[in-house]
Amino acid sequence: MSKLPERLGSLKLVQQVGVGRHCQIWEAADPSGGRVAVKVIVPAISHDPAQRGFLEHELKVAAALHHPTIIRIDRLSEEGGLPHLVMEFFPHPNLKKQIQTGSEAIAPRLQRLVTEIALALDHVHGKGWVHRDVKPENVLAGPDGQVKLIDFAIAARLTGFLGRLLGGSTPPQGSPSYMSPEQIRGQALDARSDIYSFGCVLFELLTGKPPYGGAASNEILNKHVSTAIPAVDKLNPNATSAAAKLLRQLLAKNPSERPKSMREVLDQIRAIRLLERVTAG
In tens, the pLDDT along 105-117 reads 899 999 999 999 9
Amino acid letter, 12: K
Helix (H, G, I), strand (E, B) or coil at 238: coil
Residues 172 and 186 sit within 8 Å (Cβ to Cβ): yes
For the cut 90, the answer to whether the pLDDT of residue 165 exceeds it is no
Which position has the higher pLDDT, 22 or 270? 270
The DSSP code for 64 is T
Which band of pLDDT confidence, cut at 50, 70 and 90, is reported for residue 164? very low
- Radius of gyration of the CA atoms of the chain, in A: 19
- Do the domains 95-271 and 7-88 match in fold? no
| Domain 7-88: CATH class, spelled out | alpha beta
Q: Is the dihedral of CA 109, 111, 114, 117 positive or negative?
A: negative
Q: How buried is residue 201: exposed, middle or buried, by Cβ count under 10 Å (0-12/13-18/19+)?
A: buried
Give the H/E segment covering residue 12. Answer: strand 11-20
Q: Where are the domains of the chain?
A: 7-88, 95-271
The pLDDT of residue 156 is: 95
**Which residues does the annotation mark as catalytic?**
133
Q: How confident is the model at residue 280 (pLDDT cuts 50, 70, 90)?
A: low
pTM assigned to the model: 0.93
CA atoms within 13 A on the CB side of 152: 27
**If pLDDT is split at 50, 70 and 90, which confidence band does 206 have?**
very high
pLDDT tens string 85-102: 999 999 999 999 999 988
**Cβ density class 18-36: b for 16+ within 10 Å, e for less:** bebeebbbbbbbbeeeeeb
| CATH architecture, range 95-271 | Orthogonal Bundle (1.10)
